Amino acid sequence: MIRFDILTLFPEMFASVLGESILKRAVQAGLIEVRLFDFRDWAEGRHRQVDDVPYGGGDGMVLKPEPLFAAIRAVRAEGPESPVTLLTPQGRRLDQALVQELAARPRLILVCGRYAGVDERVRRHLVDEELSIGDYVLSGGELPALVVIEAVARLLPGVLGNQDSAAADSFPRRLEAPQYTRPLEFEGHAVPEVLVSGHHEAIRRWRKKESLRRTLERRPDLLEKYPPEGEEAALLEELAGEPGRG
């Protein structure tokens, strides 16, 4: 079981995603627990202010240190020991290898930024690691936190039914081979014959070759990172020998 403690100004954003499909079942089965903390609850004063103008001028607002320090300390103190993770474009890029690392922990504490980000003293004195889901700027860390919850939960035993298995995820080494389902012909487009041949070895080989073809076309960096060995090398030779693939 993994417990996700989420610090956010918009806890209601999580309800719909956690209330459907795989994550809903994972919560009901007690395989994951998600606790939502609105860190405005730790803000002082009548207006419970959580953001303020940036020193040195500039546009946008910055999340104040006081509410976040108080909230993070309170949540962190409730055990078990866990790093504090800030979702930010400046963070370590999330990939499947990092997801596997996170899935080995008993607890994740995810801090969702808003506005132009958090006061640097939060990052320097309370945050242990920073994660980014990609090189683009969102309005908040809530969607990145949901991406982390979904990607991690899928790796937990019992979360995925037999209809889809994380083990089948060939990523990150290779891109998936093309998939087909009924009807056999759609708008004149037929399913590759090998897939309805019943010839399992031929099907396995076709899928491996098409996965390599797609990886070669779209993510050649993956072939650098995970060099082809054994049968893959032979299949790549075949691909190279195909007409139009000089």
Which one of 77-85, 131-139, 171-179, 213-221 is the stretch in contact with ligand 4FV (CB under 6 A)?
131-139
Q: Which amino acid, residue 64?
A: K
Which H or E run contains 65? helix 65-76
Query: 228, 200, 204, 202: which is closest to 215 by C-alpha?
Result: 228
Tell me the C-alpha distance between 245 and 223, whole Å: 17
Q: How many other CB atoms sit within 10 Å of the CB of residue 140?
A: 16
Choice between 69 and 239, CB closer to ligand 4FV: 69
Rounded to the nearest whole angstrom, what is the least distance from the CB of residue 63 to ligand 4FV in the complex? 8
Q: At which residue do the structure tokens 């055990």 appear?
A: 79
Find, among 142, 91, 92, 94, the residue nearest to 114 by Cα: 142
CB of 57 to ligand 4FV, least distance (A): 18
Figure out which of the listed residues 137, 161, 167, 246 binds ligand 4FV, where binding follows CB under 6 A: 137
> Is residue 8 a contact point for ligand 4FV (CB under 6 A)?
no
Alpha carbon distance 60, 83 (integer Å): 28
Which token pair is 111?
């801090």
Residue 161, beta-bridge partner list: none
Tell me: does residue 141 bind ligand 4FV (CB under 6 A).
Answer: yes
Beta carbon of residue 150, minimum distance to ligand 4FV (angstroms, whole number)? 14
Question: Looking at 9, 11, 126, 144, which residue binds ligand 4FV (CB under 6 A)?
Answer: 144
**67 is a contact residue toward ligand 4FV (CB under 6 A):** no
Q: Which two tokens stand for residue 128?
A: 């242990």
**Least CB distance from residue 117 to ligand 4FV, whole Å?**
5
Distance CA 137, CA 130 (A): 15
Q: Is residue 113 a contact point for ligand 4FV (CB under 6 A)?
A: yes
Q: Does 154 bind ligand 4FV (CB under 6 A)?
A: no
Binding mask 84-103 for ligand 4FV (x = CB under 6 A): ---xxx--------------
Q: Residue 117, interface with ligand 4FV (CB under 6 A)?
A: yes
Start-to-end CA distance of the chain, whole Å, equals 51
Report the nearest approach of ligand 4FV to the CB of residue 14 (Å). 15
In whole angstroms, the minimum distance from the beta carbon of 204 to ligand 4FV comes to 37
150 touching ligand 4FV, by CB under 6 A: no
Smallest gap from residue 246 Cβ to ligand 4FV (A): 39
Residue in this structure with the two tokens 């956010």, named with its chain if needed: 8
Q: How far apart are CA 215 and CA 219, in angstroms?
A: 5
Residues that bind ligand 4FV in the complex, under the rule CB under 6 A: 87-89, 113-115, 117, 132-134, 136-138, 140-141, 144
